[in-house]
């Protein structure tokens, strides 16, 4: 009986909190300057040996829509570069991140969002972490189609330190055990993103 009462109390709290959360708005990451975003979501990979994901592209599109909403800060569509599935090649990812660096000025906000596979190569002693683009191979990320996390870190540092922007980096980098980094890829990729 005690457990049943606790469950009903918890359920009532959750229902009430949902009503309050619907009215809340998320504060902007900055009131001045311009907000720009590069949003990448890859569920369907070109290489059949890389397992597809179910919702990475949907999540990315939803985040782009959120940024354009009142709660997300009403970011104009021209300030959002959305790359989904086959549009999210390594070359296009690099081009859009370069646009973000070149367009971002002091006091601006820069948002980088990635949803897709992440992994770690196991060929070199450094075991680099990668975000896998649509055109990634599954055996050797140095052959192309994978974005080295070292470059991503350098881009974030450039945006923050050189350009003087506020930077928000969101990564939802999933990994399947059959990718090159194996089980160690999860931990190492997360460490390199930190």
pLDDT at 194: 56
Give the residue, 110 or 146, on which the prediction is more confident.
Answer: 110
Evaluate whether 35 touches 29 at the Cβ level (below 8 Å): yes
pTM of the model: 0.76
28-48 per-position pLDDT tens digit: 554 579 999 999 999 999 999
pLDDT at 7: 42
Average confidence (pLDDT) over 85-96: 97
143-187 per-position pLDDT tens digit: 788 988 999 999 999 999 999 999 999 999 876 444 444 455 445
The rounded distance, in Å, linking the Cα atoms of 108 and 116 is 26
Domain 28-193 = CATH 3.40.50.1460 = yes
pLDDT at 129: 87
List of residues 6+ apart from 94 with CB closer than 8 A: 147
The rounded distance, in Å, linking the Cα atoms of 99 and 44 is 25
Enumerate the domain spans of the chain.
Answer: 28-193
List of residues 6+ apart from 125 with CB closer than 8 A: none
**Does the pLDDT value for residue 63 go beyond 60?**
yes
Give the residue carrying structure tokens 């649509």.
134
**Does the pLDDT value for residue 95 go beyond 90?**
yes
């Amino acid at each position: 009986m005690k457990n049943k009462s606790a469950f009903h109390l918890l359920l009532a709290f959750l229902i009430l909190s949902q009503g309050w959360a619907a009215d809340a708005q998320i504060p902007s990451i900055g009131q001045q300057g311009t907000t720009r975003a590069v949003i990448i979501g890859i569920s369907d990979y070109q290489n059949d040996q890389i397992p597809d994901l179910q919702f990475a592209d949907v999540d990315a599109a939803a985040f782009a829509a959120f940024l354009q909403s009142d709660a997300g800060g009403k970011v104009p569509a021209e300030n959002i570069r959305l790359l989904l599935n086959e549009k999210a090649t390594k070359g296009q990812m690099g081009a859009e991140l370069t646009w973000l660096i070149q367009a971002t000025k002091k006091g601006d906000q820069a948002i980088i969002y990635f949803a897709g596979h992440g992994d770690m190569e196991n060929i070199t002693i450094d075991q680099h972490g990668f975000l896998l683009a649509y055109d990634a191979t599954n055996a050797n990320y140095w052959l192309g189609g994978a974005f080295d996390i070292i470059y991503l870190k350098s881009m974030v540092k450039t945006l923050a330190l050189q350009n003087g922007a506020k930077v928000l980096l969101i990564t939802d980098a999933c990994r399947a055990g059959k990718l090159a980094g194996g089980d160690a890829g999860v931990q190492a990729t997360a460490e390199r993103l930190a």
